[in-house]
Amino acid sequence: MTDRLGFGCGRLRAGLEERNSRRLIEAALERGIRYFDTAPSYGDGASERVLGLGLREVRREVAICTKIGFPRPPGHSALAAARAIVRAVVKPVYRRLKRGGRPRAASAADAPAPVRDDAYGHFEPGRLRADLQQSLEALGTDRIDCLMLHEPRLTDPTPDMATALQELVTLGTVARVGVGTGSALEKLPRYGDVAQAVLTPSLLGAEESRSLIVHGLFRGLSRHAFERCATESGLLDRIPSMRSHLASDAGLSALLLNCAVLGTRVERVLWSTSSVVRLKQVLAAADAIHDEICAAWPVERGAILADTMLRYAYGVQAAR
C-alpha cells in the first residue's frame, strides 16, 4: 500500500516546530513511505533543510521531489518566529475550543482558490543551476529524483529552459523533470516525465504518457457522502468490517487513500499532516484496509473503488 503513497512536506518547519517535523519524517519512514515531496518555499523556507536532515541516514533508500519557480523565503525573522508560535500554540487551542474538541470535516470552503496571475512560477535558465544548488545543499544530497516546475504557465518552459533542464538530466543531477500545480491537470503544460495535480475526474480520464502524481484527496471531505457511496458501491456489504473503519476519522481517511491507490493508475498519491499521531493512525489503518479489500476483491476491487471514490468526491454516477 505505502509504496504508492508519498508524504507532502509543506508542513515541515524549523524553530519551535522542527522537533515535530522530524518526528513526522521518522513516522512516515516507519510506516513504509519512501517518496517525499518538498519545495524551497515550503515550511517558511525550512522544509528542504528539515527533510534533508530527517532522511540523511536513508537517502539512497528514498526518492525526493523538489521544485523551482518560487523564491526561497528569507531567513527566519521575528515575524516568522511569531507565526510559528501562533501555529504551534495558539491555533490548536483555538480550534479545539471552536469545535468543542471534535475534529471538523472539511467543507467546500477548504477548496483551493483559483490560481492568480501573480501565482505562477518564474523560470529563468540563468538561475536554474544556482537555485538547484541551493536545494541540493539544503537537502544534503547530490541529486534530485524529480525536479518540477512549480505552477508553470501553459507556455512554460521556454526552449532555453527545457534545454537547461535536459542538461541536468544528462549530467545525472536530476533523474527526471516534470510540472506540478495545486490545481487541475489541464492547467499544466504538456511537458516532462511527470505531472502532479489535484485528483479530479478529468485527471482520471486523461490520456497521459507522463507519470501522474495526485494530491488534494481530503478537500471537501464529507463523512455522510462518503458513507453513502461506500454503501451504494456494495463495499460495506462485501466487507462488513469497513463499518468500524468508517466510524473513525483515521479509518475514513485510510479508506479514501485506498480508493485512490487501488482504483486509479496514478504513480503516487500524496498525503500530508502535521500530526504524528494522525500519520501513524491513518497509515496503519490504510495497511489494514488494503489487506481486507485485497482479500475480498482480488479481481474487481479497482473498478468498485474507483466508482466509490468518484461518487464521493465529485457527486457523479460513475460507470460500473
DSSP secondary structure string, 80-134? Answer: HHHHHHIIIIIHHHHHHHHHTTSPPPP-GGGSPPPPPGGGS----HHHHHHHHHH
Sequential pLDDT tens for the chain (320 residues):
889 999 999 999 999 999 999 999 999 999 999 999 999 999 999 999 999 999 999 999 999 999 999 988 876 444 454 454 445 444 554 444 444 444 444 444 444 445 455 689 999 988 999 999 999 999 999 999 999 999 999 999 999 999 999 999 999 999 999 999 999 999 999 999 999 999 887 787 788 999 999 998 887 667 777 788 888 778 888 889 899 998 898 998 998 898 888 888 899 999 999 999 999 999 999 999 999 988 887 766 667 777 677 666 655 544 43
Nearest Cα neighbor of 285 from 31, 7, 106, 105 is 31
Which pLDDT value is given to residue 88? 47
pLDDT of residue 77: 45
Q: Are the beta carbons of 248 and 188 closer than 8 angstroms?
A: no
Q: How far apart are CA 162 and CA 167, in angstroms?
A: 9
Q: For position 99, what pLDDT does the model report?
A: 44
- Domain definitions of the chain by residue range: 2-219+266-272
Name the helix (H) or strand (E) containing 268.
Answer: strand 268-271
User: How confident is the model at residue 116, as a pLDDT?
Assistant: 54
Q: How far is Cα 43 from Cα 51, in angstroms, rounded to an integer?
A: 10
Class level of CATH domain 2-219+266-272: alpha beta
Alpha helices in the chain (DSSP H): 18-30, 47-54, 78-85, 91-99, 125-139, 159-171, 201-204, 223-232, 235-238, 242-246, 249-262, 276-296, 301-314
64, 175 in Cβ contact below 8 A? no
Q: Are 202 and 285 in contact (CB under 8 A)?
A: no
